[in-house]
Chains A and B, each alone.
Chain A
Amino acid sequence: EPEVTQTPSHQVTQMGQEVILRCVPISNHLYFYWYRQILGQKVEFLVSFYNNEISEKSEIFDDQFSVERPDGSNFTLKIRSTKLEDSAMYFCASSEGSQPQHFGDGTRLSIL
């Protein structure tokens, strides 16, 4: 069964450094998303992406965050200058139409 793949599974970064999280969505999907889950908390929406542009972003997704689809298969989330509070699991999701969304296994981001 096709799946969303995310790399790396765990990323450790010093505060203030840039980090790029990578995702390969399911191949025929057109809608792409990033969510995050801080330990012990709810899964929270960050951003949705369709037709090569951001369709919606949350308040969390400030100027430090950006997304890109650099080629036909990858979808990336960049955090420009990481903060301690960015430590979380980051999930990529994709969907063929707007729903249902299928999630990857996440990247655990630890900021030191």
Chain B
Amino acid sequence: EDQVTQSPEALRLQEGESSSLNCSYTVSGLRGLFWYRQDPGKGPEFLFTLYSAGEEKEKERLKATLTKKESFLHITAPKPEDSATYLCAVQDPLDTDKLIFGTGTRLQVFP
């Protein structure tokens, strides 16, 4: 049973072309949703934590939002250096610390 689903699998954008990545989750009693960036051959790099519906976090060209069923990562006026795989993860709904990851969205931004 998929608990975290990300879409699209891949996204190609022109530099400056804003878009959004989606992460839907089916866990009940969300304890935390996390966005990570992963460059090829590297580990996931922490971006944001969201805990409750309506919460928003921003960092440079990225903004993460959360509803009761999904999260969006909005990328405004992306640059080629934003090219990476963006991973969404939720904290296990049981009383543990483990993260449950989605398969990621591979973003390519062309100049």
Q: Which residues of A approach B to under 8 Å, CB–CB?
A: 4, 6, 31, 33, 35, 41-45, 48, 55-56, 58, 91, 93, 95, 98-106
Contacts of A55 in B (CB 8 A): 96-97
Is the CB–CB distance between B87 and A43 below 8 Å? yes
Contacts of A98 in B (CB 8 A): 91, 97
- Picked from A4, A33, A44, A99, the residue with its CB within 8 Å of the CB of B91 is A99
Q: Which residues of B approach A to under 8 Å, CB–CB?
A: 32, 34, 36, 41-46, 49, 87, 89, 91, 96-104
| Alpha-carbon separation in the docked complex, A106 to B41 (Å) | 8
- Picked from A43, A44, A106, the residue with its CB within 8 Å of the CB of B42 is A106
Contacts of A93 in B (CB 8 A): 43
Is the CB–CB distance between A42 and B102 below 8 Å? yes
